[in-house]
Chains A and B, each alone.
Chain A
């Protein structure tokens, strides 16, 4: 297997995605239930690379609902019996952490790089605090694509060198004067 550099690993509830930079393109390994599905986007096939900021509606709805649910239970326990606050503490901690994740995503969002190839695309998602890393990777990918596509052009169609003694066409302004 050729040399690969890890660009980004994203973990979700159902699996994880790892994006690697290879000499020929970008490999995205998606792990689902002990099975890895590999997708490739080759540099000489890339049409467009984009970087955008998103919040992720599904994530916000999910964390918002769960956070509110756990905090609600904690408040309910304390409202019924103030002395039972130790019982409400675990619910409060879980609810607080989930709500914190909701607030961080809602205010800061996250950066997403998408590489559109001819037949496939690769999506790299970065955490809320990894904006600079996203920009670095975006630049790294664009430079690699540029290098890859120019290498193919140079290899396939070398520009013929002009012989040094070819006379240049006469310039109109110069002949009148």
Chain B
């Protein structure tokens, strides 16, 4: 996704396409003349209807939006309690949030449906298991197990296969076990040597 993305472009040369010239079927880009098959759509324009009359009560002006003083608040932020109008309401199916709380929660990945960046624990677990196989003396097995558990949970939520993280967890457990046995034998050996 480009930061300067501003609508339909030619898929070959990325030149902007005029919406009026778009038609269904085979098209030629007016810039690069390359051919492509297109299906244009006309998405509905979004209109947010903010209630612009803030009612006056005997106590004064009530329930005005904290960001838009002329708009009436329709709800309050679930996180900070700020009164917000329909324009500010960031409802992603988990409650209404004000824009600043929503940004904060998205950065902290605490709002699931708004998360756009997260860790791939399954791949982390597989890599840890592979490293633990190559370098058995490094205590990486527990990490493979820990990340594997998180990876299985993540893959299940996505509906993807869990074979990779499960194998990584088994390998990680075996490596941890082998490491523990090795360390124990080493300590026993040291003690036995000390006694003799």
Question: Which A residues are closer than 8 A to B by beta carbons?
Answer: 1, 3-4, 6, 31, 34-39, 44-52, 54, 112, 114, 116, 118-121, 138, 142, 145-146, 149, 152-153, 156
In the complex, are the beta carbons of A46 and B37 less than 8 A apart?
no
Q: How far is the CA of A34 from the CA of B154 in the complex (A)?
A: 13
On whether A38 and B123 interact (CB within 8 A), knowing A47-B8, A47-B19, A48-B17, the answer reads no
Top 6 A-B residue pairs of the complex, sorted by shortest distance between their CB atoms? A52-B36, A48-B8, A116-B8, A51-B37, A114-B11, A50-B11
Interface residue stretch chosen among B67-75, B97-105, B112-120, B179-187:
B112-120
The total of interchain contacts (Cβ-Cβ below 8 angstroms) comes to 92
Q: Which of B19, B34, B44, B115 is most buried by chain A, counting CB atoms within 10 A of its CB?
A: B44
Question: Which B residues are closer than 8 A to A by beta carbons?
Answer: 1, 5, 7-9, 11-12, 17, 19, 22, 34-44, 112, 115-120, 123-124, 127, 157-160
Which B residues lie within 8 Å of A31 (CB)? 120, 123
Which residue from B41, B112, B124, B157 sits with its C-beta under 8 Å from A145?
Answer: B41
In the complex, are the beta carbons of B34 and A36 less than 8 A apart?
no
In the complex, are the beta carbons of A120 and B1 less than 8 A apart?
yes
In the complex, are the beta carbons of B117 and A3 less than 8 A apart?
no
Determine how close the nearest CB of chain A comes to the CB of B29; give it in whole angstroms: 9
Which A residues lie within 8 Å of B160 (CB)? 6
Determine how close the nearest CB of chain A comes to the CB of B115; give it in whole angstroms: 7
On whether A48 and B40 interact (CB within 8 A), knowing A1-B157, A38-B115, the answer reads yes
In the complex, are the beta carbons of B44 and A152 less than 8 A apart?
yes
Q: Which of B41, B118, B123 is most buried by chain A, counting CB atoms within 10 A of its CB?
A: B41
In the complex, are the beta carbons of A149 and B8 less than 8 A apart?
no
10 more A-B residue pairs beyond the given contacts A1-B157, A121-B9, with a C-beta to C-beta distance below 8 A: A34-B119, A36-B118, A36-B120, A39-B1, A47-B7, A47-B40, A49-B39, A114-B11, A116-B9, A146-B41
In the complex, are the beta carbons of B158 and A4 less than 8 A apart?
yes
Q: Which of B34, B36, B39, B120 is most buried by chain A, counting CB atoms within 10 A of its CB?
A: B39
